[in-house]
A and B are shown apart, each in its own frame.
Chain A
Amino acid sequence: MHIPDGFINAPTCVVGGVVAAGLIAVSVRKAAATLDDRQIPLAGLVAAFIFAVQMLNFPVAGGTSGHLLGGVLAAVLVGPWVGSLALSVVFAVQALVFADGGLTALGLNIILMGYTTCFGGYAVFLLVRKVLPKTATAVVGASAVAAWSGVVLASLVFTFYYAVGGTGGAPLGTVAMAMIGVHMLIGIGEAVITALTVSAVLSSRPDLVHGARDLRPALTIQTPAGAPAAGRAR
């Protein structure tokens, strides 16, 4: 979903750059407040993994492909603040080194594929987790639903960009329908990859999954059989 230079006009790109810089500054402050040492290698791993998997375009329909955006995955694994920073690194490397995604559109891309999925998708994750039982399976299910939602949300954000500063004169309604339609399919791939990855990390190191932190007390605190101290944890 990388926007190249030229699709969105210059003023919109400038505003996007300023907004993205502001969001990154907020992420740095928020991340600083909650950082622990383990998040240094984990942030590196999340960025590296998302970079690699973004290269793995999978076919969706009639000569079209899609790739992971990764925001929900990053947010579930390391939290949305560190996650959004890891993703911003990925998009910057892609644009500056691999000529993928325009340089003038970098800010727009960071908001579109990073912050939209990292925060919009993660909000869906938190909502779904509220209605499901507190189990590891529910975390995986919620991450899948959130991952799909994040991609569709990003297709709406692109449509918004196109409405504000799109070039080429395509009718907004058809751009919106086409974007949402194809990304409802691509989102399925996003959901599968996100669920598999979250599930793999949960099975080896559940304590490293930010989005499952609330499961830890229930997993580790042993109470005598029949004691009501376990609270809501079944």
Chain B
Amino acid sequence: MKRTPITLFVLLGVGLTLVLAFFVSPLASSAPDGLERVAIDQGFEGQATEHAMATGPLADYSVAGIHETWLSTGLSGVIGVVLCFALAAALVLAIRWVRRRPTVPTA
């Protein structure tokens, strides 16, 4: 039984993920999601307050300064994918690193 080596498996997975984030995310429905729909129908959507990051460079999955909507959404998706991969892998790496060294040097 021939197995895909894990490095290739992860690379293929990340590649597919980047394709989804860049090419498919601009096609996503922009209709309110389930919770937003309930909030609108039940009259409490007005309770939502301004998000502290609402004017941030990547707010609402768009890249500030890029006015081509699909490109802006697609690029924000790529940035999010890279960030999530790096942070989750770093977190697990850190957990393993700490476990291998029970006495963490107090730097």
Q: Is A155 an interface residue (CB 8 A)?
A: yes
Whose C-beta in chain B lies nearest to the C-beta of A33? B99
Q: Please report which residues of chain B, range 2-43, place their CB below 8 angstroms from some CB of chain A when the two chains form the complex.
A: 3-4, 6-7, 9-10, 13-14, 16-18, 20-21, 24-25, 27-35, 37-39, 41-43
Task: Give the complex CA separation of A169 and B46 in angstroms.
Answer: 11
**Within A168-184, which residues are at the interface with B (CB < 8 Å)?**
168-171, 174-175, 178-179, 182-183
On chain B, the residues within 8 Å of A32 by CB distance are 95-96, 98-99
In the complex, the answer to whether A98 meets B29 with C-beta atoms within 8 Å is no
B89 touches A52 (CB 8 A): no
Task: Give bound CA distance, A63 to B31, whole Å.
Answer: 6
In the bound assembly, the distance between CA atoms of A94 and B59 in angstroms comes to 9
- Who on chain A is nearest to B81 by CB? A48
- In whole angstroms, how far apart are the Cα atoms of A98 and B58 in the complex? 5
With A66-B33, A97-B58, A98-B76 already in contact, the answer to whether A6 and B48 are too (CB < 8 A) is: yes
Task: Check A232 for interface membership: any CB of B closer than 8 A.
Answer: no
Give the docked Cα–Cα distance between A68 and B35 (Å): 13
Residues on the B chain within 8 Å of A50, using CB: 84
A131 to B13, CA, bound (A): 31
A125 to B83, CA, bound (A): 29
Chain A: how many interface residues by the 8 Å CB criterion? Answer: 74
**Is there contact, CB below 8 Å, between B95 and A175?**
no
**CB of A23 within 8 A of chain B?**
no
CA distance A216 to B56 in the complex (A): 47
Contact call A155/B34, Cβ cutoff below 8 A? yes
Listed by A's residue number, 9 A-B pairs whose Cβ atoms lie within 8 Å are A5-B52, A45-B14, A48-B84, A52-B80, A56-B25, A94-B80, A103-B52, A167-B47, A182-B34
New contact pairs (16) apart from A99-B59, A168-B44, A179-B34, CB-CB < 8 Å = A3-B35, A6-B48, A7-B39, A43-B91, A44-B86, A45-B10, A56-B20, A56-B25, A65-B29, A89-B84, A92-B87, A97-B80, A99-B60, A102-B48, A103-B52, A170-B42
